[in-house]
A and B are shown apart, each in its own frame.
Chain A
Amino acid sequence: MTETMFALIAEELARIAADKGETLPALGPDTRFLGGDLPIDSLDLATLLVVLEQRTGQDPFRAGFVQFNTVGELAALYRPDLSRSGAAAGSA
């Protein structure tokens, strides 16, 4: 299912927050990226999407903007079968 993707999002989001000297609260599928409790802004969210593309090889936004608000909604946009096999690319 999308659990692997959820874990990947949590891992990369924690890294982005750590770079800013922030720590993340516990994430759930209903955690909102913006407008909730997460210490991230839209540039951080943009960064997350670039990192996810690099790690999964998938770009669910190729055709343009797709609505998502929560961690669970974003995780569901990626095909689960590929989320494990992404190249081990380093992020900033």
Chain B
Amino acid sequence: MTPPPPWLHPGVRLIEAERSVGWTEIAAQADAFEAAFQAAGGRVVLPPQGVPALVAALVAAERAGVELHLPRRAAPAETESEPHGPGFAVLLETSGTTGTPKLIRHDFQRLRGRLRGAGDPDARWLLAYEPAAFAGFQVILTALAAGATLVSAPGAGAAELARLAVSHAVTHISATPSFWRAFLLALDGAAPPLVAVTLGGEVADQPLLDRLAERFPTAKLRHIYASTEAGALFAVGDGKAGFPADWLETGIDGVGLRLSDGVLEVNSPRAMLGLDGVWLSTGDVVEVRGDRALFAGRLDGRVNVGGVKVSPEVVEQVLLDVPGVRDALVQAAANPVTGHILTALVVPAPGVEEAALRAAIRAAVAVLPPAARPRLVTLTGSIALGAAGKKTRKGTA
């Protein structure tokens, strides 16, 4: 049997759908993929089919020297088959909620370079992100390098993952705050023996951090700040929301931080190729309160709904296009389960029947991802305008 590549520790175990596989099974599938990839050349696409297949495809793509596109859905974001560059690389899709997701080409060695520290071979990870999402891919690489165990169930909700975490005695989970809230809601008296609790992808609020510290008192609790262009930037491990304000002067972990008109800008040696060392605006509004820098929403008004960034304005446009809608206002309401949720005020055109209008609205928003659909639609006679003559959008903090 071929030895594994240096980034894959032979002790790794992948558990999915109650089936546990190791290097032997991965190697056999990689051999089959390699023959196909050699024949295809250039760029190959692997539709979602679980973590073991993804890992085997990575091994095969590196050997065959092809680009591996890992779409999140069965219908990929881009269908062109011209490679972006020569040799082995991984193409991941951004989580576009409105509009087409972008395809980002990642140099594999550079992705690996982001992994921190020596991995723990006894760790039992739960994959709480999509395997082909950037954050999920990082978790997979971490487990592979350490020779750890990785439990996954692509497509499963937080409740099912909570069950798996308990039954497989999971020790490490990296997930969004929204996932953690749902996870806590789904856990019974039994809790997994977590030693590492990591939050990322959206703002970690203090009540949630407190609740996690209380439920998992011995676990190392960290929240990670990352941006699409610059990747993972820093981790905060003191159990408090935001980050120490003096990092805006000193930087942290080689990353420079500064505020420009209240918006966080970063300068990272680990940014995407071509952007390293450049000051980048993150679009995140930051408020300094005492010795703490706290996140206060997005400059572009996008909000996080269950870990998915959605634009109330874009959703509003969808509603305004519905026949029978005279005016619409989409707002984000703070929510303890998903962080935020979208609600809509709709002014019907005269003579429009309510049931028919609601049905038309439901049909129109059905094309949006579930997180972007307004969950509460209230019909009203008029929508108040703010002082500037614009609709006042609240609740985007």
> How far, in Å, is A5 (CB) from chain B's closest CB?
17
Which of B144-152, B221-229, B330-338 is the interface stretch?
Answer: B330-338
> How far, in Å, is A49 (CB) from chain B's closest CB?
6
* 8 Å CB contact of A50 from B160, B182, B362, B376: B376
Judge if A31 is at the interface, Cβ distance under 8 Å: no
Given known contacts A34-B182, A35-B162, A65-B205, is B336 in contact with A49 (CB within 8 Å)?
Answer: yes
Chain A interface residue count, Cβ-Cβ cutoff 8 angstroms:
28
Question: In the complex, A82 Cα to B239 Cα: how many Å?
Answer: 36
8 A Cβ contacts from B318-341 to A: 333-338, 341
> How far, in Å, is B383 (CB) from chain A's closest CB?
16
Judge if B168 is at the interface, Cβ distance under 8 Å: no
Judge if A42 is at the interface, Cβ distance under 8 Å: yes
Size class of the B contact interface (CB-based, 8 Å): 35 or more
Inter-subunit contact A92/B358 (CB<8 Å): yes
Scoring A43, A61, A67, A69 by chain B CB atoms within 10 A of each residue's CB, the highest score goes to A43
Judge if B375 is at the interface, Cβ distance under 8 Å: yes
Inter-subunit contact A67/B375 (CB<8 Å): no
Inter-subunit contact B336/A65 (CB<8 Å): yes
Interface of A is mostly: loop
Query: Within 8 Å CB of A25, what residues of B?
Result: none
Inter-subunit contact A45/B185 (CB<8 Å): yes
Query: Within 8 Å CB of A65, what residues of B?
Result: 181, 184, 205, 207-208, 211, 336
Query: Within 8 Å CB of A91, what residues of B?
Result: 376
Task: Considering the complex, give the chain B residue whose CB is closest to the CB of A60.
Answer: B336
Judge if A58 is at the interface, Cβ distance under 8 Å: no
Given known contacts A50-B341, A50-B343, A92-B358, is B375 in contact with A42 (CB within 8 Å)?
Answer: no
Query: Within 8 Å CB of B162, what residues of A?
Result: 34-35
Judge if A26 is at the interface, Cβ distance under 8 Å: no
Quick one: CB contact mask for A25-49 with B, threshold 8 Å, 1 for yes?
0000000111110000111011101
Inter-subunit contact B188/A49 (CB<8 Å): no
> How far, in Å, is A20 (CB) from chain B's closest CB?
10
Residues of chain A at the chain B interface (Cβ within 8 Å): 19, 32-36, 41-43, 45-47, 49-51, 54, 61, 63-69, 89-92
Nearest 3 Cβ contacts at the A-B interface: A64-B207, A35-B186, A35-B159
Instruction: Pull 26 A–B residue pairs with CB atoms less than 8 Å apart, ordered by A.
Output: A32-B186, A33-B185, A34-B182, A34-B185, A35-B185, A35-B187, A42-B157, A42-B338, A43-B338, A43-B370, A46-B336, A46-B341, A50-B333, A50-B335, A50-B341, A50-B343, A61-B334, A61-B335, A64-B205, A64-B207, A64-B208, A67-B211, A69-B185, A90-B378, A92-B358, A92-B362
